[in-house]
Amino acid sequence: MPDDAGEGYAVRIGDLLNMIFDTHAHYDDGWFDEDREALLGSMQAAGVGRIVNIGSDWKSLDRTKVLTQQYDFIYGAYGIHPDEIGDLDEGRFTQLREFLAEEKAVAVGEIGLDYYHNADNKTEQKEWFERQAFLAKELGLPVVIHSREAAEDTLHMAKTRHFEDIGGVVHCFSYSWEIAREYIRMGFFIGVGGVVTYKNGRRLKETVKQMPLSALVLETDCPYLSPEPHRGKRNHSGNLHHVVRMIAEIRGITEQEVEEVTWENACRLYRMN
């Protein structure tokens, strides 16, 4: 068991009825190079039944494909993050379509807008966001939306480009309940992870309290955003038990109920049985 497994890592052993679905992970990241095989090999014992590994830059797409081939419980999302759109040109956009034809491809993502790191290329970000979203619509796949310090523009694009016809998830949701409600009305899911356990995560806690449980899915964004009490350390899917515990506390329901409903929601999001 990895040193950073944390409290609760070995719970649910043998209880395969109550499994966690991590809808957003980056196990292709170099932070996992030393122990990736051991860590992923321990996921069932950690109570984690499915993981979607999310592409973000060009190199990660091929690494994601390899992971989906190596592990039956890992699926892939393929897309280019707004910080990485310099990787894209017409030739690579054609290749992206080929990745999305893979048997275990379940979404286009992560795609979207990010003005935190770069607000100088908004036009290009919007162009590639739209093109990747419309590719998802063409292929009948949902989108995984990344939006950071771009709340107004992201929501405007979702509404004016009729993303309700595409569907998907707003991952690592960080905006207000009012904005979450607009996405939920369009049929989108809201991705909730470690931030909900933070003392300064009050806005996300309020969203979790207000939103219908039918729109909530779990995610790690690992290796980033570890929940308390592991904040600042490498994150992994086994840590989602801490997120489950916090959501159960906020909603006044059992952890088992949180696991069951978020599993069902994730399967609807990614159109799995």
> Collapsing DSSP states into helix, strand and coil, what is residue 189?
strand
The pLDDT of residue 9 is 35
Question: 184 is in which domain, residue-wise?
Answer: 20-269
Any domain includes 13: no
The pLDDT of residue 2 is 42
Nearest to 80 by CA among 137, 21, 124: 124
Any domain includes 53: yes
pTM of this structure: 0.93
- Longest Cα–Cα distance of the chain, Å, equals 51
Residues in the chain with pLDDT values less than 50: 1-16
> Collapsing DSSP states into helix, strand and coil, what is residue 186?
coil
| CA distances for 28 relative to 2, 34, 39, 61, 260, angstroms | 17, 12, 12, 9, 27
Any domain includes 7: no
Any domain includes 177: yes
As a whole number of angstroms, the distance between CA 23 and CA 218 comes to 6
| Alpha helix positions (H), 83-142 | 90-99, 122-139
> Collapsing DSSP states into helix, strand and coil, what is residue 222?
strand
Looking at every residue in the chain, the average pLDDT score rounds to 93
Q: What is the separation of C-alpha 99 from the centre of its chain, rounded to a whole number of angstroms?
A: 18
Any domain includes 221: yes
Any domain includes 94: yes
Could you tell me if 196 and 247 are in contact, meaning their C-beta atoms sit under 8 angstroms apart? yes
| CA distances for 96 relative to 70, 83, 156, 198, 207, angstroms | 20, 17, 25, 36, 34
Any domain includes 197: yes
> Collapsing DSSP states into helix, strand and coil, what is residue 87?
helix
> What's the structural domain count of the chain?
1
Six-digit token string for 175: 């905006």
- For residue 260, the domain's CATH number is 3.20.20.140
Any domain includes 14: no
